[in-house]
Structure 1
Amino acid sequence: MHDQVQRYYGETLTRSADLRTDACCDGAAVPAALKPLLAEIHPEVSERYFGCGLVAPDALEGLRVLDLGCGAGRDVYLLSRLVGEQGEVVGVDMTPAQLAVAERHRAYHAERYGYGRSNVRFVEGRIEALGALGLPAAGFDLIVSNCVLNLSPDKAAVLAGAYELLAPGGELYFADVYGDRRLPAALAEDPVLYGECLAGALYWADFLALARAAGFSAPRLLEARPLAIEDVQVADKVAPARFCSATYRLFKVDGCDGGAADDGYTLTYRGSVPQAPEVWTLDRDWRFRTGQPVAVSSHIERILRASRFARHFAFDAGGGDPHEDVLAASDPNPFATAVACQSASCC
């Protein structure tokens, strides 16, 4: 399976335009502040981008970041700019052809950003065996991944490894492809279906279970979109399954596996996240307006208090009325959230 993925992304695909579906492309609306940063990335790196979401959360200055399945490095170099010269970004990938592209542009980006030295490095290896790559346990504040987990034959190992590498309160923020059902194992033998991020896509409910088994907090869904499969041959092979890309965030916080209701807490957002002076978004259900107290469950309170966002909130001591966790009460199914693209240029 690993060899099949290496051939597809190292030889079959030479640029984003070679894809036969819109599964491995960025369907998220790029915030205006990030557009000029993406324009700074070397064209060869950008042309070999195969992501399905935007993995650039808020409040990154000075963070230690790990990108799982970094490919040619587009997200690494974007994050390099966002963490600043004092931050660090490490990219892991198993495809030498992709890493070769990423490596030869390190000096270009350091100079473009005005850094005295490059703050990125790349490691060749498999994301199922992160512990064997010499990466520090609890050594990263944030781990990202963009349309890669579906390509792994051992997704539980990837999630478990990511959990071990995150510092307490750290976050796994990633976009990936999910199916609305479990797929026949035989589909994984088709190099196109697998390489196009379809045959290896998790049934969304199985992902929720795997994330919790690895120790993460209950997954927070940010956004989802349905995937268009315009190639008739590909569509026929996977029918009647439907697919969507979704962006989730998971936190390494003890005692945060969800719950229907808990003691009431009140949080007030200070408006101090530079990218969100008026409203800060945790997920699809929780948006905090500057200066406006918000009643939350202890699940949300623990996540934010333990995370890098803690300094951006004022925390009530709790003890008020019980407040239900919205995610625990609503459907975490990304297919219930996905909204169809209104433009053929969503990729």
Structure 2
Amino acid sequence: MTQGKHKGYIKQTTTTTTTTQLLKQTSDLKTNACVAPVQPTPDFIRQALKKVHPEITARYYGCGLVVPECLEGCRILDLGSGSGRDCYMLSQLVGEKGHVTGIDMTDGQLELARTYVDHHMKEFGYKKPNINFVQGYIEALTEAGLENDSFDVIISNCVVNLSPDKRMVLTEAYKVLKDGGELYFSDIYSNGRLTEEIKNHKVLWGECLAGALWWKDLLQLAEKVGFSPPRLVTASVITVDNKELQDILGNFKFVSATYRLFKVPKGNTKNCKVIYNGGMTGAEDSFQFDCQYTFKANEVVEVDGEVANILTHSRFAEDFTFQPLGGPTGPCGVKPKVSVVFKFLDVSFTH
């Protein structure tokens, strides 16, 4: 499940200073970049959110959720965890045998999040905490004490665009992910590299637009860092309802998009037939892997080599049955044959 979320702070970095600014209220926004689209929240997530302490929820400066599937027993890292609302929700989804770590740079938010650890563990019926909160920057995860090869899933929601060094964010995420691990994140992307005027505009920073990455640069950065090619899950157009800002943005257009990036072996690009066994929490009968593939339980689907490689080397492996093309003894297909084309307005996102 994916929706947009604003973490409640704006990080602007120059060569000499770093400033943090609180977004006071949603009505201050001039675009819909940080406002969640209307999507139903699955019942099991709604129930988990109800168990989060009211003060944690009240200090949550955002909207929406970024929650991938198949989290039972996983070790999860939330980049920019804020008051910890999502972490406490995820704590219930991973279960007592899983673990959730939140990392944030804001002292006040971390103090609040840590205050209610014992309360929530008692509420969830856990014998010992399965959650912790770390102070640090998303560009320096190992410096914050997070170990390499230690997380199954990293989530991030409208935070990467606030970083001045996005390659370092992806590099650090890759380091701390286990083999087969996933970076599942929602963020803002543009149809070209933004001008310095836009990048340095304070209001556009607050709207999460000034730090938007050109979508093609994401593909290149992911490849350089070592991730599998990004798989687009969902995307929605961002509208700018302010003439002054629109004049500054000119012909640049933006989308809020969710991608999956995996840390899997390279070079294994053969098509396969797969069968989703069903039963994943929240996706018992149908699992939307990305905008290209939605798997219905017990239905045979031919997938491209990239997806076959991901499914066989990630936490999803036990949820699928794999069949080679050409029969039980035949070769497992050829290179991917389908390109994903995402069209919004007059701009095509093709990869």
Measured in 1, the distance between the counterparts of 2:324 and 2:127 equals: 44
Measured in 1, the distance between the counterparts of 2:40 and 2:190 equals: 24
Map 1:1-347; keep pairs closer than 5 Å. Answer: 1-2=12-13, 6-8=19-21, 12-14=22-24, 16=26, 18-27=28-37, 29-33=39-43, 34-50=45-61, 54-255=65-266, 263-318=270-325, 319=330, 322=333, 325=336, 329-331=339-341
SS of alignment partner, residue 300 of structure 1: helix
Cα 1:334/1:172, change in 2 over 3 Å: farther
SS of alignment partner, residue 291 of structure 1: coil
Q: 5+ residue gaps in structure 2?
A: 1-11
More displaced 10-residue stretch of structure 1: 159-168 or 290-299: 290-299
Taking every aligned residue pair, what percent have the same amino acid on both sides?
41
Deviation (angstroms), 1:155: 0.1
Instruction: Verify the 8 A CA contact 2:23 2:206 in the aligned structure 1.
Output: no
Deviation (angstroms), 1:14: 4.2
Measured in 2, the distance between the counterparts of 1:303 and 1:30 equals: 27
Deviation (angstroms), 1:274: 2.8
| Aligned AA (2:238) | L
Cα 1:52/1:146, change in 2 over 3 Å: farther
Deviation (angstroms), 1:182: 1.4
Measured in 2, the distance between the counterparts of 1:275 and 1:290 equals: 13
Measured in 1, the distance between the counterparts of 2:202 and 2:32 equals: 16
Deviation (angstroms), 1:256: 5.8
Over the residues paired in the alignment, what is the CA RMSD in angstroms? 2.6
Greater RCO, CA 8 A, separation 6+: 1
Give TM-score scaled by structure 2 length.
0.85
Measured in 1, the distance between the counterparts of 2:61 and 2:237 equals: 17
Output one character per residue of 1:33-89: Cα deviation in whole Å (capped at 9) or x when no partner: 222322333344334445575321111111100111112222212211211122111
Between Structure 1 and Structure 2, the one with more helix by share is 1
| Aligned AA (1:291) | N
More displaced 10-residue stretch of structure 1: 164-173 or 294-303: 294-303
Instruction: Verify the 8 A CA contact 1:169 1:303 in the aligned structure 2.
Output: yes
Cα 1:36/1:121, change in 2 over 3 Å: same
Q: 5+ residue gaps in structure 1?
A: 339-347
Measured in 2, the distance between the counterparts of 1:72 and 1:305 equals: 35
Cα 1:177/1:264, change in 2 over 3 Å: closer
Aligned residue pair count: 330
Instruction: Verify the 8 A CA contact 1:256 1:299 in the aligned structure 2.
Output: no
Instruction: Verify the 8 A CA contact 2:33 2:208 in the aligned structure 1.
Output: yes
Cα 1:264/1:20, change in 2 over 3 Å: closer
Measured in 1, the distance between the counterparts of 2:73 and 2:332 equals: 37
Cα 1:14/1:73, change in 2 over 3 Å: farther
Give TM-score scaled by structure 1 length.
0.86
Aligned to 2:5: none
Cα 1:65/1:15, change in 2 over 3 Å: farther
